[in-house]
Every structure is written in structure tokens, then in C-alpha cells.
Amino acid sequence: MQRPPTPTDAAAARRRGRPRKRLDAAIMAGQRVVRANLHEQAAERLRDLIVRGDLAPGASLVEVELSAMLGISRTPIREAIKLLAQQGLVELRANRSPCVRPLRAAEIRELFEALAGIERIAAELAAQRITAADLERLRALQAEIVREHEAGRRDSYAAANRTIHRTIVLAARNVPLAEVHAALLSRADQVRVFALGLEDRWEQSIREHQAILDALDARDPLQAGRLLQEHVGQTAAVVTTSLAGRIDPASSAA
Amino acid sequence: MQRPPTPTDAAAARRRGRPRKRLDAAIMAGQRVVRANLHEQAAERLRDLIVRGDLAPGASLVEVELSAMLGISRTPIREAIKLLAQQGLVELRANRSPCVRPLRAAEIRELFEALAGIERIAAELAAQRITAADLERLRALQAEIVREHEAGRRDSYAAANRTIHRTIVLAARNVPLAEVHAALLSRADQVRVFALGLEDRWEQSIREHQAILDALDARDPLQAGRLLQEHVGQTAAVVTTSLAGRIDPASSAA
DNA sequence: TTCGCGCAAATTGCATGCAATCGCCAGAAA
DNA sequence: TTTCTGGCGATTGCATGCAATTTGCGCGAA
């Protein structure tokens, strides 16, 4: 009978498995240093589950359940949950199980508004600092988006779309800005999964991307910023409309 | 002989102290619900120590030391440190003691740049949504700043200054934006403590505040945003100059 | 039938033990 | 004198135990 690994099993395995020189061995084996701490791995795994919608908004996150699911003990789980809470994907409730942040109309509106603003700032900076290599990468991503659009591949389209936004922000060469953007973006991704009808906007969205890339290419900060902010605003409008009927308009878990 | 409380002492005290009905009793005693979890208290306390400069940039944060200092066990300390790391006040190093984020020229420049951008966005939104009560509060804060300036009270001036910026951001009525702002602001505060010569700019700064308030009063988003962004930029310039000679120009802990 | 009370199970929050890991320092070799 | 190496102490990372708190439910009373 197979059974899921318990924390103890995992700990024992980890101990026995490699007498010593673990890191050296891993590096010499050509493995990418996967050696992140357990709580980081847990955070990444949980983020993924939440953003992909496998853990539904409002679902309560019970420590022992997650601990059994991931085969690690409660401690790193707790740390991971705290991390995700800080990023807005999880909501902590005093003396209660934390839960996946529910979708609330007002919060979603504010989220996209903030995201649009931050991307505008990033675009303005990026227009001043973007390199030829950045631009080339953006054009490649844009081409990829077009391909995935034509092939109708929803997931690939979304991934490429995400990457193009991320790349613009990174071109701003501002780490704190990129960090806050990443936090907001993952929450936006979570929301998007539950929105329908986004495909209707694909062609329009691609045109907007093209205009933004042109503005960046022309090193026009104001234009790039304005266009990107509006672009995000458009997406927000579609998402909000799509979700409007299906979530608590006021709040939830009241 | 007095000795600092150990985690065990504290735990025992907490257990013995209140047989039950703890919350009810506290509420009926009219106490504000101070009943935050230990890790939250610890985070707040540590944040304060860092922002006030009592824990110097680069200082290493050893779990047992902090645990003894705050009279709690390592677990909540660890959680608090993770939280502060997420906010950029603490830097985690693999398998080493975390440390207070050192001051690095490039990072500080980026930090204030991001802060300026976010405050611009906030000001634009605030100009559209600000209420009469908000404006009144801002005017009172501005008056307070003038008073503290004339009295030459450095700490009070800084506190009021911080509050006025915070209030403008809150007037934007956007929670995610306010949250990311708060994170960046606390790091900026930490940096400011080590910058000299900020007093030279007080009068100019007060004039800039007044212009920003006027723009908000006039409900002029572009003007308010532009002025606030430039204002933060000016502060950044002074801070950067002041710090330029006294920090690792490139990095540290290489 | 419905409301209230109290008990029990579920679950968090914190403390602590244990082992792996890292940095540091002494000592040896060049 | 400088550099490399081995072992030791310091410190983290994770697992787990224990108590407090909360919630849900059953039972009794109105």
C-alpha cells in the first residue's frame, strides 16, 4: 500500500539519503540548485495551487492537511502561509484557519487600479532605460502571444502575456518596484482564472501591446506609461464585469 | 537579581495569569485589544528597532538573542523575521543569520524612485476622491509640521511628515496601494535616520507640501501627482547625497 | 420546536529538541 | 608570511509536544 509521505518519513529520507557533501554532489550532477528551504518550496507550491485556482478562493488552509499533502511538518507550512498572506494571496484570521483570499468586488477593482498605476510608473522608467536586448525579447514575446492566440491556446497565451508585462517592469531596472509588482500580479493572476470572456479581448489586447512596444521603442515615457495604464484598465474592466455576477458584491465570510 | 524573562517564564506566566475568559476580561477592562499574536508583536518591535536605527544596517539577527531579548521562543521570532524580510527591512541569507538590510547606494536610489512613483499614483487618485475631512486633517498636519519645524523638534517633525504622506496615500482609497506604500515607506524611514542635513530642507519641504495640498484641494490629479513625485525626488536627492560618502557604494556582504 | 448552555473535537500558537550546515580559527605546509 | 585544510562551535531549519482557544454539536429546558 502506498501512502503519502509523512513529515517523519521525509525527514528520515533526507537524513539517510545523503551522508554528506550534498551540495557538491548536486552541483557536480549538473542539477540546478534546487536546494531551496522547505518553507520556500512550500510557498511556491501553495502559490501555484492558489493562482491556478486549484485551491478555491475562500478555501480554508488547515495546517495538518497541507502538511500531509506536501509531506513536511507544520512549521515550514506556517512560514509559507505567512509569506503568502503578506502577498495578499492568503488571508489570516485570528485563531482560525487561514484561507485563500476570497474574491471581493471592491478589492479586485482596487487591485487592478494599483497594478495599472505601478505598471505605468514602470513603463515610464523602462522607456528611459530599455536596452536593445530588452526590446528584442519583448518583440519575441509579442510574436509568441500572436502565435498562441491564433492557436487558441489559453494557458500559453496567459503565460506569455504575463511574461511580457513582467518583462516591461523588469526593464525599468527598479528592484523594489518589480517586487511589489510581482506580489500584485500573482493576485491578479488568481483573479483572472475565474474570469470568463477574456478571450474576446485577445486581439484588442495584442494591438495595445504593439502600441506599448512602439512607445518603448521610441523611448517615449509618457506615451508608454499612459498606454500601459489604460491597457491594464481595460483588462480590469473585462475581469470585473465577468466576475460581477459571481462573487459577493460587498464582502464575504462576514 | 533581575534577569530577562525566558520564553519558559513568559509561557508559564501567560498560562497561570489568566485561568480563562481572557478576552472577555480584557475587553471589559476597556483595554484596546492588544491581543496580537506574539509573532506580530515581535515583528512590530523589531521593525521599530530597525527603523529607529537601534539595530544598525548589516547587524546580524540571531534567533536566540532576539528570543532572549523579547522573552519569547524562537518560533515567533522566525515568523517575524520572515515578515520583515518580505518588507525589505531584513535580508535573509541561506543558512546564516538574517541581517538588517544594509544601506546600498543603488538600492536606496531605486527605493525612493519607486516610492515617488507610487506616491504620484496615489496623489492622482486622491485628488479625485479626497474628502473635506481628509483635507482638514492634512491642513492640521501641515500646521503641526510648521510648529515642529519652528521648535526644531527633529523626531516630531519626522513623525508628522511621515503621517502627512501616509494620509495622502490613504486618501487614494486603495488598500493594495497603501500596503505596498507602507512597506517601502518603513524602509525609507530606516534610511532617513542615517541621513544628515535633512533639516536644511525643512522649509523648502514645507512649501512643497503646501503646493501639494493646494493641488489636492483644487482636485487637480496631474498637478498633485507631479508635485508629490518631485517632492519625494528632492528628498531622495538629499538623502542620497548625505549617505553617499558613508556606505558601500557598490554593495556589501559580497 | 427553538433557544441556550456546555462539552468535546479540531486547530492554532508557542516552546523546545535534534540534527545538518556553515563560518571561523588553529595549525600545517609552501 | 600567506594559503590551504580539518575540526569545532555557533546557528539555522525542521519536527513535534503541549496548552489555549474556538467552533460545532448535542442535550436539556422553555
Give me the pLDDT at residue A95, please. Answer: 84
Q: Is B60 helix (H, G, I), strand (E, B) or coil?
A: strand
Q: List, chain by chain, residues whose CB lies under 7 Å from nucleic acid strand D.
A: A 6-8, 10-11, 37-39, 72-76, 79, 95-96; B 15, 18, 20, 22-23, 61-64, 74-75, 78, 92, 94-98
Confidence of residue B36 (pLDDT cuts 50, 70, 90): confident
Cα–Cα distance for residue pair B15/B76, rounded to 1 Å = 17
**Beta strands of chain B (E only): which ranges?**
90-91, 99-100
Give me the pLDDT at residue A94, please. Answer: 85
Give me the pLDDT at residue A36, please. Answer: 76
What nucleotides of chain D have any atom within 7 angstroms of a protein Cβ? 10-17, 19-23
Give me the pLDDT at residue A92, please. Answer: 94
Distances (CA, A) of A157 to A147, A153, A190: 8, 6, 15
Give me the pLDDT at residue B35, please. Answer: 59
**Beta strands of A63-198 (E only): which ranges?**
90-91, 99-100
Q: What average pLDDT score do residues A174-178 get?
A: 98
Segment B12-30, tens digit of pLDDT: 665 443 333 333 333 333 3
Which has more confidence, B4 or A112?
A: A112
Q: What average pLDDT score do residues B143-164 get?
A: 95
- A 208-247 residues with CB below 8 A of B? none
Cα–Cα distance for residue pair B235/B116, rounded to 1 Å = 10
User: Maximum Cα–Cα distance for chain A, whole Å?
Assistant: 64
Q: At what angle do helices A105-129 and A175-193 cross, to 10 degrees?
A: 140
| A15 pLDDT above the threshold of 60 | no
Segment A20-40, tens digit of pLDDT: 333 333 333 333 344 578 999
CA atoms within 13 A on the CB side of A136: 3
Q: Answer whether A214's CB lies under 8 Å from A180's CB.
A: no
Domains annotated on chain B, with CATH:
21-100 (1.10.10.10), 105-244 (1.20.120.530)
pLDDT > 90 in chain B, percent: 77
Q: At what angle do helices A132-151 and A154-171 cross, to 10 degrees?
A: 160
Give me the pLDDT at residue B95, please. Answer: 84
Residue A99's beta-bridge partner residues?
Answer: A60, A91
Considering chain B, what is the average pLDDT of its residues? Answer: 87
Give me the pLDDT at residue A211, please. Answer: 98
Confidence of residue B116 (pLDDT cuts 50, 70, 90): very high
A39 φ/ψ angles, rounded to the nearest 5 degrees = -70, -25
Give me the pLDDT at residue A33, please. Answer: 41
CB under 8 Å, gap of 24 or more: what pairs does B55-61 form? B55/B100, B56/B100, B57/B100, B57/B101, B57/B102, B57/B103, B57/B190, B57/B194, B58/B99, B58/B100, B58/B102, B58/B252, B58/B253, B59/B99, B59/B100, B60/B96, B60/B97, B60/B98, B60/B99, B61/B90, B61/B97, B61/B98, B61/B99, B61/B100
Segment A159-171, tens digit of pLDDT: 999 999 999 999 9
Q: Answer whether A90's CB lies under 8 Å from A100's CB.
A: yes
Q: What average pLDDT score do residues B173-186 get?
A: 97
Give me the pLDDT at residue B21, please. Answer: 33
Cα–Cα distance for residue pair A23/A31, rounded to 1 Å = 10
Confidence of residue A3 (pLDDT cuts 50, 70, 90): low
Q: List, chain by chain, residues whose CB lies under 7 Å from nucleic acid strand C.
A: A 15, 18, 20, 22-23, 61-64, 74-75, 78, 92, 94-98; B 6-8, 10-11, 37-39, 72-76, 79, 94-96
| B78 pLDDT above the threshold of 70 | yes
| B141 pLDDT above the threshold of 60 | yes
Q: Answer whether B125's CB lies under 8 Å from A113's CB.
A: yes
